[in-house]
Amino acid sequence: DAKTTQPTSMDCAEGRAANLPCNHSTISGNEYVYWYRQIHSQGPQYIIHGLKNNETNEMASLIITEDRKSSTLILPHATLRDTAVYYCIVRVAGGAGTASKLTFGTGTRLQVTL
Amino acid sequence: DSGVTQTPKHLITATGQRVTLRCSPRSGDLSVYWYQQSLDQGLQFLIQYYNGEERAKGNILERFSAQQFPDLHSELNLSSLELGDSALYFCASSVGQGRGDTEAFFGQGTRLTVV
């Protein structure tokens, strides 16, 4: 799986958009970009994923650059409950017999403040 | 609620002992993944099963073993426990065998403390 690079920590004011960057310059054509977050010591929570198009769901938006070497997770209106460690993961699209585990890095610790 | 159930939530045991952690995947999910998270290591992939068969192995110690049963629940067995095995153990499940576009959902973990 391709390696990812994320800032160690970020701060965001409540109500503002949180933009979390991720570099994955060695990503392959068949690798998806996934975002998970972990609040305190809870189980990681799936947020969103994409291959090459921008994606949006009820939690967040994912913007992937045209060359796919980087992406940004956007939380449009951050709240205190969004304080968590956010993980950017690239994951190969598995075929028959191919395992596709999630390899977690160190992530970005997002602190949302009043 | 992710739909993945892990039991027990907490476990305290002595060094040298053996424990079994249990995971019930989401209904319909065939893949189960086990992860270990200790303070200084982050989330480490241990092993994956798909429909009863082992599919991938990560940094899993020989003292640890796992299996997935016909009803798709999985157990992680940890033996000859050491203080360094104290960690959070997470189970995740997903629908497929590992298609890249299938998200995995995590349980709330089992906190193991070895004393």
Q: What is the pLDDT of residues A63-102, one digit of tens each?
A: 999 999 999 999 999 999 999 999 999 987 655 545 567 8
Higher per-residue pLDDT: A60 or B98: A60
pLDDT at B99 over 60: no
**A7, burial (CB in 10 Å: exposed 0-12, middle 13-18, buried 19+):** middle
Burial class of A113 by CB neighbour count within 10 A (0 to 12, 13 to 18, 19+): exposed
* Buried residues in B44-57 as b, exposed as e (16+ CB within 10 A): bbbbbbbeeeebbe
- pLDDT for A78 equals 97
Give residue B101's pLDDT: 57
Residue whose token pair is 């060359």: A67
Q: Can you give chain A as a three-state secondary structure string?
A: CCCCECCCEEEEECCCCEEEEEECCCCCCCEEEEEEEECCCCCCEEEEEECCCCEECCCCEEEECCCCCEEEEEECCCCHHHCEEEEEEEEECCCCCCCCCCCCCCCEEEEEEC
- The larger pLDDT score, comparing residue A71 to residue B29, is at A71
Interface-testing mutation among B33, B103, B105, with chain A (most A C-beta atoms within 10 A): B103
Distance of alpha carbon B65 from alpha carbon A86, whole angstroms:
29
Q: For residues A24 and A33, what is the distance between their CA atoms, to the nearest angstrom?
A: 9
Nearest-neighbour CA in chain B from A21: distance (Å): 20
**Average pLDDT of B69-94?**
96
Q: Which residues of B touch A98 (CB under 8 A)?
A: 97-98
Mean pLDDT, rounded, of chain A? 91
Q: Is A26 on the interface with B (CB under 8 A)?
A: no
Which pLDDT score, from 0 to 100, does residue A86 have?
97
**pLDDT (average), residues B38-45:** 85
pLDDT of residue A97: 44
| Under 8 Å between Cβ of B58 and A101 | yes
**Cβ-based contacts of B51 with chain A (< 8 Å):** none
- Shortest distance between the Cα of A103 and any Cα of chain B, in A, equals 7
For residue A87, the chain B residues in CB contact (below 8 A) are: 43
DSSP B26: P
Position A114 pLDDT exceeds 70: yes
Does residue A77 contact residue A61 with C-beta atoms inside 8 Å?
Answer: no
Half-sphere exposure of B109 (CA within 13 A, CB side): 21
Calculate how close chain A gets to B82, using CA atoms only, in Å: 22
